[in-house]
Every structure is written in C-alpha cells, then in structure tokens.
C-alpha cells in the first residue's frame, strides 16, 4: 500500500511540474535551397540543402527526381535560396499556399553570407521567355510572408488571362495579405501576343485584388527594357499598399490603384504612348489612383515619361515634395468624374498639393483638372515651383473643370530661361544652387500640417528638415549638397 501511495505522489508531482512549465516561444525553422548542388532527398540544412522549394513544380526538370522535398509547413519558416544560383523555368510557378502568423512571418529570401561566387549576388528565378504553370511567376494565397532579395526575370505572359494572373507576382484574393516584397529585381517580361486588349493593369506587375491585408513594397526595381515584345509594356504595381524606395522604369504604366502611401520612388522612361499603339484599352498613366482613395504621394522623382497623365487622382489626399521633368502630359491632374472612376465626390473632400517642383516646359500644364465634372471639395495649391513657358495651372476652362473651393498661395512660376539662369536644371535635379534663387524663402510655413498623410511635409524630398523660412518646391536650400541626388533603386544593388 505504501508503494502505491508513493507512486501516486510521484505522478502528481510530475503532473504539477508539467502544467507549471512556462510557455516557450515557437522558434523559426530555416531551410536552405541550392539548385546547383542540392538534393530534395536532403534535410534542408546549410550543409545538406534542398534542390527546390516544396511549393515549386515537382517536374524532374526542377527537382531532378520528380519529387519535392519532404516538408510539413510551420508558421514562421524561413527559406534561404543560395545567392548566385539560378532556378530554371521548370520550377515555376512557385505557388505559396501556407504562410506565417502575425507573430512570425514566413520568409523567402537570402543569407548574404551564403553565395556561389566570391561576392553575393541575388538568387535568380529565370523563366527564359517561357510561361509558368498557372501563368504568374509567384502566386501567394496565404498571409504574413516576406519575399526578399530575389531576382525574377524573363517571364512570358499569356495574353488576356486577366489580372492578376498576368502578373509577375500574383498576391491577390482574400486568402492573401500582410505580405512584404522588398529588395527585389523583376525585369524583362514578355508576352505571347501584344495586341489591343491583350493586357490588363496587372500585366507584369506585383498585383493584388481583394487581399485581406496590405501588400507592401520596399526597395524593388522593375524594368522591362530588354523585353522580346515589340515595346516594353505592363505596370510595376497594381492595387498595393505602401510603395517606397523603389524604381519603376521602361514599362507601360507605373502604379494603378492604391491603398497606402507612395513615396521616395523613381518613375522614369515609361512609354505608355508606344504601348497604346498595341493596347488602347488601358489608361497608360504613371500613377492612377482608384475611386474613393485618400492618397499620400510624396518625395518621388518622376521624369522622362511619354504616357498619359503623370499623376491622375480623385479629389482628396496629399501630393507633395515630388520632382517632375520631361513628362508628356499634365503632371498633376484631378478628376471630378461623378459616379465613375472617382465615385461620388463630396464637399468634404480635401486635396493638398504642396511643395512640388515641376518642369512643365514641354507645353503641358503643371496642374489641372479633367473635364468630367466640378470637384465638389477643396483643393489647396501652395508652395509649388512651376517651370513653364505657358499656363502652369488649368482649372475652370472648357478643358479643365472648376473646383468648388480652390486656394492658391505662394506658388512660384518661372520661364525656362529664368530657371536655367538661376540653376534649376535637370543636371542637379532642380535643387536651388543659391540663396538668391527664386524659390528660397518664398514659401508658406506649413509646419502645423505635418501629421497624418502630410507627416513628411516638414522635411524636403531628401529628408532634410525644412528651415524656419520655408522654400518653395521640393527642396530646402542649404540643407543638402548641390550634387545630383542618387535615385532610389539601383539595378545592381544588393540590399542588406
């Protein structure tokens, strides 16, 4: 009897000890993938890497054997692709069906110390002008994922399959969300047939439709200059959240639809007019914001674009600290279309257009409205630097609708010759070069507005603080060097 009592006490003690143990945080697992020397029979460690990712295609051309690696998903898993290694077309689509959690995102990216060469280069996903299974390069139907420092190249789009199926990255639907795409290089997609109506606004893009959480982009370069199609085409971004520090060039469109701020980017060499010869269906604008969105567009450099409207938005939000030059059409255009693209404009709508620098000397207006209906709300147009030999502003004419409440103050308009003589040129990206420049000390002090969508307004485009006496335009004299600032985005940059 004593023995049984003793055993009972031991069992109870063990049980009490077990239930009293503190909960331990789930640790992320890391799997390594090397197409060149890995094997899917391995366990995925750095010394025994897999050949392909479990969510890639299992074709023998990708896996070597016709079998994916043995794997069971756990939230927070990290997948490291070896730098300098190329995964061929047979591996794609990469279809991500499981994701992380709010506490631990899944990670698809790199270890900068693990590379095939003497120095790190990105892992390359190369479609070699083939179409992936399932159309898009990467398709995610999961949440809480980070894609980092991967190079996606030469995907062939099938005409007319619809967005986001024709995107490089299809991250849409309610099953997706809370996804970050960063430090990526996506380039040189092509298409089966480029004819009128063959593409969508999501063609080529990082794209989502209906995601349950934000899809954000940071330091991504997209470029279609070396496409095998007749002209570079498609968009960089479609229906995304925050877009920052990125470089979008040599496409047909920049960004269409937006649910978050767009800032500190370069949009350049976008030739939507050439694309329109093949595809007249799409609005080949640089930034086109959808119905009802309150936008914040700031600190961007937008130049050398032969497209439709440069920034085309409805009548609410904030556009500030941007620099424009050599763009084909109206640089900032507000739409008053009732019941259409802009839904129902209301008298409570407010659009702030502050401290932009625009060289509109090609004959386009620097700022204006379309002819689709009076904007019912308020537009504040202040502290902008316009360089033009014509009319800087077009509002309330037969071609440009009226604005119910239109406030203009402290905008500086210069002719091309005056701007050149004062040093406002493309060579220095229109930074004032002298304290006697026509923009210096001429602005309203808007420091009381620097919050919310205008949170960055108290700094200039280069993030230097506005001084006691504000300058007109995107720059504050004396707060940065006069050398040409580097654009965000670098095709050869590897970001840590």
Q: What is the distance of C-alpha 439 from the center of its chain?
A: 31
Instruction: With CA atoms as reference, report the closest residue to 158 among 253, 234, 90.
Output: 234
Q: What pLDDT score does 184 carry?
A: 98
The answer to whether residues 256 and 387 belong to one domain is no
Q: What pLDDT score does 429 carry?
A: 92
- Hey, CA dihedral for 473, 482, 265, 260, is it positive or negative? negative
The answer to whether residues 280 and 405 belong to one domain is no
Answer yes or no: are the C-beta atoms of 234 and 248 closer than 8 Å: no
- Determine, yes or no, domain membership for 49: yes
Classified as helix, coil or strand, 19 is: helix
The answer to whether residues 137 and 62 belong to one domain is yes
Q: What pLDDT score does 170 carry?
A: 98
- Determine, yes or no, domain membership for 417: yes
The answer to whether residues 276 and 348 belong to one domain is no
Last residue of a domain, one of 237, 255, 284: 284
The answer to whether residues 114 and 202 belong to one domain is yes
Range of the domain at 105: 30-284
The answer to whether residues 271 and 381 belong to one domain is no
The answer to whether residues 266 and 351 belong to one domain is no
Total domain count for the chain? 2
Q: What pLDDT score does 228 carry?
A: 97
The answer to whether residues 258 and 352 belong to one domain is no
Instruction: With CA atoms as reference, report the closest residue to 461 among 300, 311, 326.
Output: 300
- Determine, yes or no, domain membership for 327: no
- Determine, yes or no, domain membership for 18: no
Q: What pLDDT score does 122 carry?
A: 98
The answer to whether residues 44 and 173 belong to one domain is yes
Instruction: With CA atoms as reference, report the closest residue to 229 among 259, 263, 188, 266.
Output: 188
Q: What pLDDT score does 32 carry?
A: 98
- Determine, yes or no, domain membership for 4: no
CA separation for the pair 295, 273 (Å, rounded): 25
The answer to whether residues 364 and 231 belong to one domain is no
CA separation for the pair 254, 248 (Å, rounded): 6
Last residue of a domain, one of 284, 311, 326: 284
Q: What pLDDT score does 14 carry?
A: 39
Give the total residue count for the chain.
496
- Determine, yes or no, domain membership for 17: no
The answer to whether residues 71 and 168 belong to one domain is yes
Instruction: With CA atoms as reference, report the closest residue to 495 among 244, 295, 209, 187.
Output: 244
- Hey, CA dihedral for 31, 36, 42, 47, is it positive or negative? negative
Per-10-residue mean pLDDT, the chain, length 496: 41 39 60 98 98 97 97 98 98 98 98 95 98 97 98 96 94 94 98 90 94 95 97 95 96 89 95 86 83 84 92 91 92 76 80 97 92 90 97 95 96 98 94 95 97 96 92 89 49 48
- Determine, yes or no, domain membership for 401: yes
**Segment (H or E) for 313:** strand 311-313
* Beta-sheet strands, E only, within 314-467: 317-320, 323-327, 332-334, 350-354, 357-359, 367-369, 375-382, 385-387, 393-394, 403-409, 412-414
- Which residues are registered as beta bridge partners of 324? 302, 358
CA separation for the pair 161, 197 (Å, rounded): 11
The answer to whether residues 390 and 461 belong to one domain is yes
Q: What pLDDT score does 282 carry?
A: 79
């Amino acid at each position: 009897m004593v023995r049984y009592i003793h055993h009972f006490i031991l069992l109870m003690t063990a049980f009490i000890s077990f239930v009293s143990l503190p909960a331990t945080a789930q640790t992320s697992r890391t799997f390594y993938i090397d197409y060149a020397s890995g094997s899917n029979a391995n366990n995925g460690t750095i010394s025994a890497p897999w050949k392909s990712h479990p969510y890639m295609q299992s074709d023998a051309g990708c896996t070597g054997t016709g079998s994916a690696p043995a794997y069971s998903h756990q939230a927070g898993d990290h997948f490291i692709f070896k730098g300098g290694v190329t995964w061929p077309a047979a591996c794609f689509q990469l279809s991500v069906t499981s994701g992380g959690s709010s506490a631990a995102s899944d990670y698809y990216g790199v270890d900068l110390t693990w590379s095939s060469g003497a120095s790190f280069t990105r892992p390359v996903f190369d479609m070699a002008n083939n179409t992936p299974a399932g159309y898009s390069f990467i398709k995610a139907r999961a949440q809480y994922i980070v894609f980092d420092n991967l190079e996606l190249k030469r995907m062939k789009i099938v005409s007319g399959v619809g967005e986001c199926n024709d995107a490089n990255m299809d991250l849409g639907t309610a099953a997706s969300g809370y996804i970050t795409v960063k430090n990526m290089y996506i380039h040189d997609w092509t298409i089966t047939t480029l004819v009128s109506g063959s593409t969508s606004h999501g063609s080529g893009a990082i794209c989502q439709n209906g995601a349950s959480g934000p899809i954000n982009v940071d330091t991504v370069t997209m470029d279609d200059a070396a496409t095998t199609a007749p002209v570079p085409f498609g968009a960089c971004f479609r229906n995304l959240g925050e877009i920052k520090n990125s470089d979008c060039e040599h496409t047909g469109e920049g960004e269409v639809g937006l649910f978050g701020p767009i800032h500190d980017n370069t949009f350049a060499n976008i030739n939507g007019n050439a694309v329109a010869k093949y595809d007249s269906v799409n609005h080949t604008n640089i930034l086109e914001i959808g119905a009802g969105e309150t936008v914040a567009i700031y600190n961007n450099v937008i130049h050398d674009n032969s497209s439709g409207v440069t920034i085309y938005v409805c009548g609410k939000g904030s556009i500030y600290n941007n620099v424009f030059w050599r763009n084909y059409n109206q640089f900032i255009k507000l739409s008053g279309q009732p019941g259409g693209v802009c839904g129902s404009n209301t008298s409570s709508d407010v659009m702030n257009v502050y401290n932009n620098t625009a060289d509109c000397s090609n004959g386009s207006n620097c700022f204006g409205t379309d002819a689709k209906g009076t904007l019912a709300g308020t537009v504040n147009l202040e502290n902008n630097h316009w360089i033009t030999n014509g009319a800087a502003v077009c509002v309330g004419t037969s071609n440009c609708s009226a604005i119910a409440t239109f406030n203009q103050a402290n905008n500086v308009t210069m002719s091309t010759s005056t701007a050149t003589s004062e040093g406002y040129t493309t060579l220095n990206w229109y930074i004032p070069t002298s304290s006697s420049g026509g923009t210096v000390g001429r602005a309203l002090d808007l420091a009381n507005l620097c919050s919310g969508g205008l949170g960055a307004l108290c700094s200039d485009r280069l993030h230097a603080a506005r001084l006691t006496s504000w300058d007109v335009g995107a720059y504050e004299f004396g707060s940065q060097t006069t050398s040409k600032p580097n654009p965000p985005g670098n095709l050869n940059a590897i970001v840590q």
